[in-house]
Amino acid sequence: MSNLRKGKSMLLANGSRRGSVTPPISKSHLHRLLIADFLGGRQDRGKDAKEDPDDILATKRCLRALASTAEEPVLDCGESGSTARFIRPIAAALGKRPQYVLRGRLAQRPSIDYERLSPGTFELPGNVSSQFATGLLFALPLLKGDSQIIFTSPMQSRGYIDLTLEVLQNSGIVIRETENGFTVAGNQTYIAPLKTLPEIDWSGAAFWLAMNKLGSEIEVNGLNPDSKQPDKKVIELLSQDGGNKDMSQCPDLFPALAVASAGTPCKTTFTKIERLRIKESNRVEAVAKLLAALGIKTEESESTFTIWGQAAPFTPNAIIETSSDHRIAMSAAVAASYSTKPVEIDNAECAAKSYPNFFNEFNAMK
């Protein structure tokens, strides 16, 4: 199967796929391992690698800058929300006063600035991003006194917090969970952990698994069924035809699941979608546009998104606008695998944010 490039656009050949893939390593896991390595004095995997997605390159770049003697290093976070939200409190705990470079929509996404970081009580909304809590969980053990994190609303994306706690435990850091948050002792020392290998990414695997739901036969290798990555829930959610699907704990799955649901002849309602509007794009709006271009009826409210799926393959009627969002671009490939004709997307290059080789692998399949 071939593709035709028109500037940044790409024409994706239609039809089901057959083949075998190994998705990239989990960004979520590797971000955390890199930070733990850095704080434990280990630097052997901080060099850039050819296969690194853009977000991982951003974290490596920022950690190298923090390792310098400069009191006001320039930290280029690229478009990575994880990098910015993890690094800010760590830099403050280390006594740095960085200049931050935020690209794309990152400057408009929710953030917390820390000019100084002192021991105390930190109140966080649990329904905005678990990344704020992860940043504090890494930073607070470095302070001279004890601290508390208190969630003012129910915590979403709990699996990402569990992933953080696992990495911290392996680095010798003790965190005590409370009824509504965590207590973090100060004056702790990170130990250089054994070189834990990052897991394969369940969120990247989701696109191939969604294609399988629509009739492709793709072997997806390397996934850890016991992973704490919340996106492993994709297996359970893809097995359910129609009904309600709660996105509060795994919002990154929404685009792939939405396309899979559009190709299933029943009504599916995604609930607790509020945070999807503050991702790399407004993913509710972007997915609505994608499905409209496939001729699929949808309806949204503040907290829900409903899809009326169909059994027949999609018949695209317009170019897919990716909003420069990697997950929207890859979801368009899911659509192409169940389409009567090729699907054109306006920007394939944005997939490099999380899965640089995705479209090469997709186009190589027969």
Contact 29, 229 (CB under 8 A): yes
Our answer to whether residue 252 is catalytic in this structure is yes
As a whole number of angstroms, the distance between CA 48 and CA 78 comes to 15
Q: Up-side HSE of residue 192: CA atoms within 13 Å toward CB?
A: 7
Three-class SS state of 207: helix
- Which residues touch 95 (CB under 8 Å, ≥6 apart)? 71
Element (H, E) at 148: strand 147-151
DSSP, collapsed to helix, strand or coil, labels residue 217 as strand
Exactly one of 54, 55, 252, 325 is catalytic; name it: 252
Distance CA 234, CA 226 (A): 13
Letter string b/e over residues 202-241, b meaning 16 or more CB atoms within 10 A of that residue's CB? bbbbbbbbbbbbbebebebeebeeebbbbbbbbeebbeee
What size, in residues, is the chain? Answer: 366
Instruction: Walk across the sheet containing 343-345 and list its strands.
Output: 4-6, 9-12, 343-345
Rounded to whole angstroms, how far apart are CA atoms 264 and 192? 48
- Tell me 103's DSSP state: -
Helix (H) or strand (E) holding 269: strand 267-271
Q: Which residues does 58 contact at the CB level (< 8 Å), separation at least 6?
A: 76, 77, 78, 79, 80, 83
Q: What is d(CA 70, CA 101) in angstroms, rounded to the nearest whole number?
A: 16
DSSP 169-184: HHTT--EEEETTEEEE
Separation between Cα atoms, residue 294 and residue 297, nearest integer Å: 9
- Residues acting as catalytic residues: 252
